[in-house]
A = this chain, B = another copy of it.
């Protein structure tokens, strides 16, 4: 990135607008690195300034008259962007849900995968795997069910794979590993959690050319229009960083970073398990989802903050299905994780 920044000050190295969809080399590298076996091509990749931004651009694509489904609990940006686009009805205080959103409960009882036979049809299904906050990664069989469900209903899946590199078991790292997914799914991804690019701003979205609206028009063509009108591409300097990430050294460095945080995860899991709590997630994600049965998430959050001076995230912030849980993040320095573990053991001994 430093080299690219310097190069911008030279006649040969300067570059201006475009391509809005991302540099050809980076699109090709993403396709080759993450989608070599699934038939996704360079031209299906849209480089972005992050998954969060692309989620909102996708919502602009879908417009205000669609109905979405989300996992409950889930990353708040799906619901929030739906509210902003005017897709929802009023917030219902009693159930802590917005009207006209389908909340698909994901709990220990159903293995954090919704019972699709009881889920009504929606236009769009946001599905995050490995899930933020629960850390659950859907299995191949579950994703096969999901793709079939979307196909039968004429729904579009927006599959958020921002944590895919954290997968340790044989769960699919991309929805496009599932046969038929290219006709029903969009995938959004990010360098944020692999390379610490949260401030650099770089991600991508895959819209296969096989994904069509019911009138046969390719979804990618309309998204391309939005990318060109409402966005002008990720910073060229950030894109140079993306190319660095996908070089052999970069891939190795990202694996090391992911491995480091997974060690942090193990420390957190050991802490709560030894205290007798049920913990979920963790294996395929940088998040540990700790159950405090019968307790209010915010009360647990406040207790840990005030008594141990450790910051966690109350589960109910991710939807009503998160009530009674707290999300513990593994993104931290090792000494801080160890110290937090010590204090938590002291607090709950």
Question: Footprint of B on A, CB under 8 Å?
Answer: 1-3, 5-6, 8, 14-18, 49-50, 52-53, 55-56, 60, 63-64, 77, 80-81, 84-86, 196, 198-201, 225-226, 229-238, 241
A56 to B230, CA, bound (A): 5
A253 to B55, CA, bound (A): 38
Most buried by B among A5, A86, A231, A236: A5
A179 to B170, CA, bound (A): 64
Residues from chain B with a CB closer than 8 A to the CB of A56 are: 60, 229-231
- Nearest CB of B to A339, in Å: 17
Which residue of B3, B16, B17, B235 is within 8 Å of A49 (Cβ)? B235
Query: Are the CB atoms of A235 and B201 closer together than 8 Å?
Result: yes
Which residue of B2, B196, B198 is within 8 Å of A5 (Cβ)? B2
Which residue of B5, B49, B226, B236 is within 8 Å of A84 (Cβ)? B226
Beta-carbon nearest neighbor of A63 in chain B: B86
- Nearest CB of B to A166, in Å: 17
Q: List 18 A-B contacts (CB under 8 A).
A: A1-B8, A1-B237, A2-B6, A16-B196, A16-B198, A17-B199, A18-B199, A52-B230, A53-B232, A56-B60, A56-B230, A63-B86, A81-B229, A81-B230, A84-B230, A199-B236, A201-B235, A235-B238
Query: Besides A50-B232, A64-B86, A198-B232, 4 other CB < 8 A contacts?
Result: A18-B199, A49-B235, A199-B235, A200-B236
A2 to B8, CA, bound (A): 10
- Nearest CB of B to A8, in Å: 7
A80 to B60, CA, bound (A): 13
Beta-carbon nearest neighbor of A83 in chain B: B229
- Nearest CB of B to A311, in Å: 14
Most buried by B among A6, A52, A226: A52
- Nearest CB of B to A128, in Å: 16
A238 to B202, CA, bound (A): 13
Beta-carbon nearest neighbor of A20 in chain B: B52
Query: Are the CB atoms of B1 and A5 closer together than 8 Å?
Result: yes
Which residue of B225, B232, B237 is within 8 Å of A238 (Cβ)? B237
Query: Are the CB atoms of B200 and A8 closer together than 8 Å?
Result: yes
